Amino acid sequence: MDDYQQFIANVKRKTGIDLAQYKEAQMKRRLTSLYEKRGFKNFQEFFKAMEADRTLFHEFLDRMTINVSEFYRNAQRWEVLEKKILPKLIDRNRRLKVWSAACSTGEEPYTLVMILSKFLPLSQISVLATDIDENAISRAKLGVYVERSLQEVPEEMKKKFFTKEGTYYKIDESIKRAVTFKKHNLLADPFDTNYDLIVCRNVLIYFTEEAKSVLYHKFNKALRPGGMFFVGSTEQIFNPSSYGFEAEDTFFYRKMG
């Protein structure tokens, strides 16, 4: 077994995270640059050190998870959600079951709640938000952001739901209350069912084709018929019908049936 394959096996044993399901060249490059920066010669040395040093282990997790996010990321897509997708979903069912999968530091589920609040009272909104990375989840729960991540937030929403504290922006408690955060590994943990809307953006690009295909099936099963799957702006599904989806708009897929 080569150095990286052995590392994959060790990480899986230690954390349950299966790096083999992430695109190899990209992940290997990211992790190699980290261990070189920290002065190790190969993955074996790096893993040994990681086992003894929690900070290094967290650095590894940080490097492999890629937490970049922002509010209203690709704003035009959120407009499609608001103008075209949500009115139809809400027409059928006012108690929407919504999941933000791989939610990172919270910008995505909080964006969802802000948009949903245009249709429903906040007390009726509930979004499940999950990520594999506990650090990201802690930051999401804190709800404090730098100005840059608010660039796309409409002015009215910024006024209504954020408080400026020094150079930071704090999201309102009323928005926070509508989101339940949980740790969840998309590649290993079971999915709940009967969702009206699943948002999973900018994480599938890191996975192998096989892993992606398994996940499309699982997301399809997790939706109720007519439910909607919203993917990232580089993550178009090329053969949606083979997973039980039909394209409703670019980057939005409806569960058939």
Ligand X SMILES: C[S@@+](CC[C@H](N)C(=O)[O-])C[C@H]1O[C@@H](n2cnc3c(N)ncnc32)[C@H](O)[C@@H]1O
The site for ligand X (CB under 6 A) is made up of 65-69, 73, 102-104, 108, 131-133, 136, 185-187, 201-203, 232
**What's the min distance (Å) between Cβ of 188 and ligand X?**
7
**What's the min distance (Å) between Cβ of 108 and ligand X?**
4
Kindly tell me which of 103 and 157 has the beta carbon lying closer to ligand X.
103
Long-range contacts formed by 164-173: CB under 8 A, 24+ apart: 168/144, 169/144, 169/145, 170/143, 170/144, 170/145, 171/106, 171/110, 171/143, 171/144, 171/145
- Cβ 218 vs Cβ 242: under 8 Å: no
DSSP codes joined into one string, 4-21: HHHHHHHHHHHHS--GGG
- Cβ 7 vs Cβ 48: under 8 Å: no
Kindly tell me which of 10 and 104 has the beta carbon lying closer to ligand X.
104
Kindly tell me which of 75 and 187 has the beta carbon lying closer to ligand X.
187
The C-alpha atoms of residue 78 and residue 242 are separated, in whole angstroms, by 26
Torsion of CA 131, 127, 143, 61, to 10 degrees: 0
**What's the min distance (Å) between Cβ of 15 and ligand X?**
11
The C-alpha atoms of residue 134 and residue 139 are separated, in whole angstroms, by 9
Residue 200 half-sphere exposure toward CB, CA atoms < 13 A: 30
**What's the min distance (Å) between Cβ of 244 and ligand X?**
22
**What's the min distance (Å) between Cβ of 64 and ligand X?**
7
- Residue 105: which of 2, 51, 181, 43 has the closest Cα? 181
Kindly tell me which of 181 and 245 has the beta carbon lying closer to ligand X.
181
**What's the min distance (Å) between Cβ of 216 and ligand X?**
15
Kindly tell me which of 48 and 183 has the beta carbon lying closer to ligand X.
183
Kindly tell me which of 40 and 143 has the beta carbon lying closer to ligand X.
143
Structure tokens at 200: 């999973």
Angle 141-143-147 (CA atoms, 0-180°, nearest 5)?
A: 155
